């Protein structure tokens, strides 16, 4: 393997793919690993993204996992480290973004880093330290009522400060607009004031491209996936279709969806409205002991040859609440994830070689059930979602792991057109 430019640690699976996608688009060959590999990587790459499942873990656990990933990335010769979290910052005052960032700073012996979840391509912007989701402040967005990480304050300086020992400061939009030199000067000024982490404003990709060169000398960058678009140039890499080349696609096509986000509900509806073959998983039948995965697979057997089939548990909030009230939130989630993972495995055994999975937790369950350890990242379908390629029993598998909130309403049909 050639020398690794960027070593990345992502706090969830779909977020890791999102980051790798932006790196590939900016010219880096990127590989995503599922967890920390045991040995060296067996593929050529400029960037590796180690996908953890640490987003909602207590700080001590997230720190331990992240440090283990850091050790492995340094053994691979990574020249810069990137800690990726969610573009909606999913991290309450008890969250682990601050503790993980500071533990990585300590391990890398650095006294300064940045923090910005900005991802303008998906409507996440940071202005005066405040995070916007589309047109509204984070605290007025759906994230206000997120079941695990309710975000009630959009002021990221305040949110991050509540998690950090070091002082948190701000590089505001007027400085970013002046370009890399001004940004570097502001870094120096903040450092001199004793600031260890700086939230950086960015409302456009141009802002992120101005920020990129100013980050060249930082051992550690902490951010959403957006900041990645400005980094490959620091390593002499330019956008090139060659970075996104995957083996040719073939085989049967399917979609497994466990996300209940607004975006995924719209995608399921659009697929069904366009005449797509779709099977709804009823969690209560699973809870009653029925072999729902087996029934879904028998249904799919009749239809797979004709085109992509969709097996989904995706439901509107009222229906999800009703199931959760009967089964409990965690039990309902785990039971649906197990069912969809069994369906994904069965579909691949039946010859599916192009598979879309919707939802972060659902993707984690499916990837684990398929025994996938490593993904090569290919072309983008929609912002934040690329096609990937993995080795599975019986050959290669093209896989798209879609974050709940990402993708246009025609995602489930267009994904396969992009691959063709």
Ligand X SMILES: O=C(O)[C@@H](O)C(=O)CO
Cβ atoms of residues 404 and 312 within 8 Å: no
Q: Which of 11, 207, 337, 382 binds ligand ATP (CB under 6 A)?
A: 337
Tell me: does residue 54 bind ligand ATP (CB under 6 A).
no
Number of Cβ atoms within 10 Å of the Cβ of 75: 13
Q: What b/e sequence results for 115-147 when a residue is b if at least 16 CB atoms lie within 10 Å of its CB, and e otherwise?
A: bbbbbbbbebbbbebbbbbeeebbbebebbeee
Q: Which of 323, 355, 375, 399 binds ligand ATP (CB under 6 A)?
A: 323
User: Segment 298-337, which members bind ligand X (CB under 6 A)?
Assistant: none
Q: Which of 260, 304, 309, 342 binds ligand ATP (CB under 6 A)?
A: 260
CA dihedral 391, 397, 402, 403 (to 10 degrees): -10
Residue 350-389 contact track with ligand ATP, rule CB under 6 A, x = bound? ---------xxxx---------------------------
Q: Where are the alpha helices (DSSP H) in 41-96?
A: 59-75
Task: Tell me how many residues contact ligand X (CB under 6 A).
Answer: 12
CA-based max dimension of the chain? 68
Q: Which of 120, 251, 258, 407 binds ligand ATP (CB under 6 A)?
A: 258
Q: Which of 4, 6, 14, 260 binds ligand X (CB under 6 A)?
A: 14
What residue 333 binds from ligand X, ligand ATP, none (CB within 5 to 8 A, per partner kind)? ligand ATP
The vertex-412 CA angle with 345 and 148, nearest 5°, equals: 75
Cβ atoms of residues 110 and 220 within 8 Å: yes
Candidates 35-43, 152-160, 371-379, 401-409 — which segment interacts with ligand ATP by CB under 6 A?
A: 401-409
Three-state DSSP state, 55: coil
Give the residue with the Cβ less far from ligand ATP, 7 or 407.
Answer: 407
User: Segment 362-391, which members bind ligand X (CB under 6 A)?
Assistant: 384
Q: Where are the alpha helices (DSSP H) in 240-288?
A: 262-273, 283-287
Cβ atoms of residues 371 and 397 within 8 Å: no
Tell me: does residue 232 bind ligand X (CB under 6 A).
no
Q: From CA 8, how far away is CA 39, in angstroms rounded?
A: 17
Q: From CA 159, how far away is CA 131, in angstroms rounded?
A: 11
Q: Which of 5, 19, 114, 332 binds ligand ATP (CB under 6 A)?
A: 332
Residue 50-89 contact track with ligand X, rule CB under 6 A, x = bound? ------------------------------------xxx-
Q: At what angle do helices 262-273 and 411-419 cross, to 10 degrees?
A: 80
Give the residue with the Cβ less far from ligand ATP, 168 or 385.
Answer: 385
Q: Give me the residue label for tokens 């912007």.
A: 125
Give the residue with the Cβ less far from ligand X, 297 or 415.
Answer: 415
Q: Which of 113, 163, 225, 265 binds ligand X (CB under 6 A)?
A: 225
Give the residue with the Cβ less far from ligand ATP, 80 or 92.
Answer: 92
Chain residues binding ligand ATP by CB under 6 A are: 14, 258-261, 264, 283, 313, 315, 320, 323-324, 332-333, 336-337, 359-362, 403-405
């Amino acid at each position: 393997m050639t020398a690794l430019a960027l070593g990345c640690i992502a706090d969830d699976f779909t977020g890791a793919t999102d980051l790798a996608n932006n790196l590939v688009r900016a010219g880096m060959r990127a590989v995503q690993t599922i967890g920390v590999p045991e040995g060296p990587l067996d593929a050529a790459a400029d960037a590796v993204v180690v996908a953890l499942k640490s987003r909602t873990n207590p700080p001590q656990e997230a720190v331990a996992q992240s440090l283990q990933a850091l050790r492995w990335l340094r053994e691979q010769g990574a020249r810069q480290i990137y800690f990726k979290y969610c573009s909606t910052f999913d991290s309450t005052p008890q969250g682990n973004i601050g503790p993980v960032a500071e533990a990585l700073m300590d391990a890398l012996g650095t006294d300064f880093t940045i923090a910005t979840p900005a991802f303008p391509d998906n409507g996440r912007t940071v202005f005066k330290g405040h995070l916007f989701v589309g047109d509204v402040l984070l605290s007025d967005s759906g994230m206000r009522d997120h079941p695990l990480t309710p975000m009630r304050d959009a002021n990221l300086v305040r949110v991050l400060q509540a998690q950090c020992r070091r002082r948190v400061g701000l590089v505001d939009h007027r400085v970013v607009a002046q370009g890399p030199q001004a940004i570097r000067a502001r870094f120096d000024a903040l450092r001199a004031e004793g600031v260890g982490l700086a939230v950086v404003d960015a409302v456009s990709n141009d802002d992120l491209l101005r920020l990129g060169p100013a980050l060249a000398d930082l051992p550690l960058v902490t951010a959403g996936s957006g900041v990645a678009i400005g980094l490959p140039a620091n390593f002499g890499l330019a956008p090139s279709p060659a970075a996104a080349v995957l083996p040719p696609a073939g085989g049967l096509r399917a979609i497994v969806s466990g996300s209940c986000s607004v975006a995924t509900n719209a995608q399921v509806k659009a697929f069904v409205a366009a005449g797509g073959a779709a099977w709804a998983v009823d969690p209560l039948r699973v809870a009653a002991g029925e072999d729902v995965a087996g029934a879904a697979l028998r249904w799919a057997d009749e239809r797979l040859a004709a085109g992509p089939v969709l097996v989904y548990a995706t439901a509107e909030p009222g229906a999800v609440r009703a199931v959760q009230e009967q089964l409990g939130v965690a039990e309902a989630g785990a039971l649906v994830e197990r069912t969809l993972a069994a369906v994904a495995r069965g579909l691949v055994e039946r010859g599916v070689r192009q598979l879309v999975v919707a939802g972060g937790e659902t993707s984690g369950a499916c990837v684990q059930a398929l025994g996938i350890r490593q993904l090569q990242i290919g072309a983008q379908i929609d912002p934040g979602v690329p096609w990937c390629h993995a080795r599975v029993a019986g050959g290669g598998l093209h896989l798209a792991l879609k974050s709940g909130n990402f993708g246009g309403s025609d995602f489930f049909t267009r994904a396969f057109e992009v691959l063709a």
